Amino acid sequence: MSTLSEVAARAGVTSATVSNVLRNRGRVGEQTRQRVLEAVAALAYRPHLAARALAEGRAPTIALMVSSIANPFYPEFALAVERAARTSGHFVIVCNTNQDPLAGRAYLEQIAGTLSEGVLVMNANLDFADLHQTEARGTPVVLCMWERPNDPPGLPCVAVDFRRAGELAAQHLLERGHRRIGAIVGSKRSGIHAARYEGFVDALRAAGVKLPRTCVRYAPDTIEGGYAAARELLDLHRDTTAIFATNDLPALGSIHAAFDLGRNVPDDLSVIGITDIQLARQSRPPLTTVAVPTVEAAEMAVSLLRELIERPPDTRHTARHTAREQPRVCVASEPRLIVRGSTGTPRRKRG
Distance in angstroms (rounded) separating the CA atoms of residues 242 and 179: 8
Whether residue 69 contacts residue 96, with contact meaning beta carbons closer than 8 Å, is answered with: yes
Q: Does 255 bind a copy of itself (CB under 8 A)?
A: yes
Residue 102 in contact with a copy of itself, rule: CB under 8 A: no
Q: How far is residue 133 from each of residues 65, 94, 140, 154, 158, measured CA to CA in Å?
A: 16, 20, 10, 13, 20
Give residue 8's region: left, alpha or beta (phi > 0; psi -120 to 50).
alpha
Q: Pick one of 91, 150, 236, 267: the residue that binds a copy of itself (CB under 8 A).
A: 91
The helix (run of H) or strand (run of E) holding residue 272 is strand 270-275
The site string for a copy of itself over 284-303 (x = CB under 8 A, - otherwise) reads x-------------------
Q: Which of 34, 114, 150, 326 binds a copy of itself (CB under 8 A)?
A: 114
Residue 213: Cβ-neighbour burial (10 angstroms; 0-12, 13-18, 19+):
exposed
- Cα 92 from Cα 332, distance rounded (Å): 22
If one asks whether residue 264 binds a copy of itself (CB under 8 A), the answer comes out as: no
Contacts of 235 (CB under 8 A, 6+ apart): none
In the bound complex, what is the minimum distance in angstroms from residue 115's beta carbon to a copy of itself? 5
Among positions 164, 217, 256, 306, the unique one binding a copy of itself when judged by CB under 8 A = 256
Interface characters, 189-228, with a copy of itself (x: CB under 8 A): ----------------------------------xx----
Which residues, numbered 34-63, are part of the site for a copy of itself (CB under 8 A)? 46-51, 53-54, 59-61
Provide the binding-site residues for a copy of itself, judged by CB under 8 A.
1, 46-51, 53-54, 59-61, 68-70, 72, 74-76, 78-79, 82, 91-96, 109-111, 113-115, 137, 223-224, 252, 255-256, 259-260, 278-279, 282, 284
